[in-house]
Amino acid sequence: MPNRARSEQELFTFIHEREHRSTALMLRSFPRESFDVRFEGGRSTREWALAFILQEQLLRAVCGGDPPATPAMWPASPEDIVSAYEDAHRQSCASLACLTEQEWNEALHSPDELGLCEPVRRGELLWIALEDLVDQVEQLAEHRTAAAERRSAIPGSPESKELELSA
């Protein structure tokens, strides 16, 4: 099947969805006993997941939705946090799907979270927010690797047993 040219919005939506799938998979598979552990002074997985929720809210806000809001009470369990992240993603996708090409190219003042002073095209703001999300996902992947290495160093853990068997 020949490749067809994609619009900027279609490309953005494709990359946004791909990043969401990998992020949700990583969050769901993260060891629960390490969900609140900080490695090397960084964020815990819980803190990363909550940041992803806020990032999805930021994408929705750039599309014209409500501004990001820190709730009075965050979900407590890892499963509820992942569910809240997926809800925030669905809401940002719905907002993205409603954008016309004219709205995509409209000049806006950026949300404070992006730290830009001059009016910027909405599409550019969305790309900046998505790039920030991708950077955060990469940092979470590094965090996950550190958690796995830490677990494999614990005698008697399933990971250390796998290492013993493979040696």
Please state, as a whole number, how many other Cβ atoms lie within 10 Å of the Cβ of residue 152. Answer: 14
The pLDDT value given to residue 162 = 43
User: Domain range spanning residue 150?
Assistant: 8-166
Instruction: Give the containing element (helix H, strand E) for 120.
Output: strand 120-121
Which residue ranges of the chain lie beneath pLDDT 70?
1-5, 41, 110-116, 151-167
Q: Is 2 within a domain?
A: no
The pLDDT value given to residue 165 = 40
The pLDDT value given to residue 164 = 43
Please state, as a whole number, how many other Cβ atoms lie within 10 Å of the Cβ of residue 150. Answer: 15
CATH number at residue 63: 1.20.120.450
| Cα(8)–Cα(14) distance, integer angstroms | 10
Q: Is 152 within a domain?
A: yes
Q: Is 1 within a domain?
A: no
The pLDDT value given to residue 114 = 61
Q: Is 3 within a domain?
A: no
pLDDT tens string 27-49: 998 888 888 888 776 888 888 89
**What is the domain count for the chain?**
1
Q: Is 24 within a domain?
A: yes
